[in-house]
Chains A and B, each alone.
Chain A
């Protein structure tokens, strides 16, 4: 009986924390000034982006140096659809995400021809390829200028509320929560158990009879799809899409968000994204070198706190409900 109590209490604490967070996020537009809402929306979008990488890196140990490919592709796809077709916002966003996921099946197929560092290099090479294409294919991507003036088309089905600042925030939040639930379900499923097997000992997983390559391709497709969804949200949010969204710097930054936030936890990377935005906003006011400091912080985390912020925080709450 005494053994059960601490678990129960910790479980209750968790529920409380979740409720507070949900209320805070849900009611944010009522309390926060517009510029803070913009930051929060961007943090939510980045959070989804980082979480998508966590599926690949945190749960399957597939190191991607080219995740910006998903973000940029989603952004350009959505932006193009909103600019050149009459497609309403909601459809464009999800269509772009889906397209990214489909493209990623091919990417995954190619990249998983290799393992280890070679895999990582292939992901980077692919992102660089998209980056180069975005400069050259001016007719579609706008070249070095990118796509500008992306509208938040309402479309025939209404959803007018989505176009407003607050509405868009709820759309992004909805995608984050939805994405989180999808990832959580995936990670707790038999499929997720195999991903963890691949992470801990891929050779053994293959020896058990799993076609690990197929699993890796599948997780790449889902990760890129969700990353593409994040990018697709960014385009109408910012109103533009440009080559920076495909640059390796962004790939690096999202990887940092995952590791600093806490890989393999889904929530950690979202926190990492928020932390990153906070740093960017606060430090960039102080110094131009904030990205450099962020890189140094990253190295420090890899050396001394590889479990990340969320990992450090949850070690205290270790006796709570089993991890996903």
Chain B
């Protein structure tokens, strides 16, 4: 069943066309990678889906419901969680508290003036489970700002998971990681994704990561979709190779 459907999504900034009639369908349980050279519009695509930015035109449907133009906190509550290209955490809070705050956002009774302890406990349970999924239980009590870069990236994923989303948007999860850190992170992610069977939209520059994790790949170039299909298909596609100027192995 298609969970996320985009149709004719366009975003203009004056004369610049950041997204050009983007159409794509993401099935439930699918891991879809979105790739493309710099400036292709990948982050704009994420922003438009999460409601950070309004599309100039086009329709976006999430589980059949139209969501284009909704404010980001509403989109989040509908079940779409994301991580960011540049690490965004609460540096002075511990990893556990970070995840707890994420989980708390989805607690139905969080506006209640009394019974805070109960709300905290319930949120903490979800948070701890998410941390465990991402292999972070060991460093849970350390301030997030002091974690290794790789752990910080994984913490962001854990925070998104603590919100029990239906779709996870990962914006360059291995950004800024060394080769070793990337390998470890990808191992963890692969395990976690397999176990959870999450629907994921993944923006990545690192092709090895993409080929390891993704079921399907969508290629963007100058805001438009130029290829969409299974990894081997996309690899062989001429247009994709041209866009990257020289292709990849």
Contact = CB atoms under 8 A, between A and B. Distances in A.
Interface of A: 188-191, 193-194, 196-197, 200-201, 203-212
Given A188-B116, A209-B106, 17 more contacts: A189-B113, A189-B116, A190-B104, A190-B120, A193-B97, A193-B104, A194-B104, A196-B93, A197-B93, A201-B90, A201-B91, A204-B84, A204-B90, A207-B52, A208-B163, A209-B163, A210-B73
B101 A207 contact: no
B116 A190 contact: yes
A205 B116 CA distance: 19
16 contacts: A190-B107, A190-B110, A190-B116, A190-B119, A190-B120, A193-B97, A194-B104, A197-B90, A201-B90, A204-B89, A205-B101, A207-B52, A208-B102, A208-B159, A209-B72, A209-B105
Interface in B42-90: 50, 52, 72-73, 76-77, 82, 84, 88-90
B126 interface: no
A210 B73 CA distance: 6
B146 to A, nearest CB: 14
Query: For the complex, would chain A's binding face be called helix, strand, loop or mixed by DSSP majority?
Result: helix
A190 B116 CA distance: 6
Nearest to A218: B111
Contacts of A204: 84, 88-90
A297 to B, nearest CB: 27
Contacts, number: 64
Classify chain B's interface size.
20 to 34
The 3 closest A-B pairs by CB, nearest first: A209-B76, A189-B116, A209-B105
A191 B89 CA distance: 18
A200 B91 contact: yes
A184 to B, nearest CB: 12
B88 A200 contact: no
B107 A208 contact: no
Contacts of B82: 207
Interface of B: 50, 52, 72-73, 76-77, 82, 84, 88-93, 97, 100-102, 104-107, 110, 113, 116, 119-120, 123, 159, 163
A205 to B, nearest CB: 8
A196 B107 contact: no
Contacts of B102: 208
B157 to A, nearest CB: 13
A196 B93 CA distance: 9
A253 B108 CA distance: 41
B210 to A, nearest CB: 24
A221 to B, nearest CB: 14
A206 B73 CA distance: 6
Given A190-B110, A193-B104, A194-B101, A206 B90 contact: no
Contacts of B116: 188-191
Contacts of A190: 104, 107, 110, 116, 119-120, 123
Contacts of A205: 101
A211 B91 contact: no
A193 B90 CA distance: 11
Given A188-B116, A190-B110, A193-B100, A208 B89 contact: no
B105 A210 contact: yes
Given A190-B116, A193-B101, A194-B104, A209 B77 contact: yes
A207 B50 CA distance: 9
B91 A208 contact: no
A8 B108 CA distance: 37
Contact of B84 (A194, A197, A207, A211): A207
Contacts of A201: 88-91
Given A208-B105, A208-B159, A209-B163, A196 B90 contact: yes
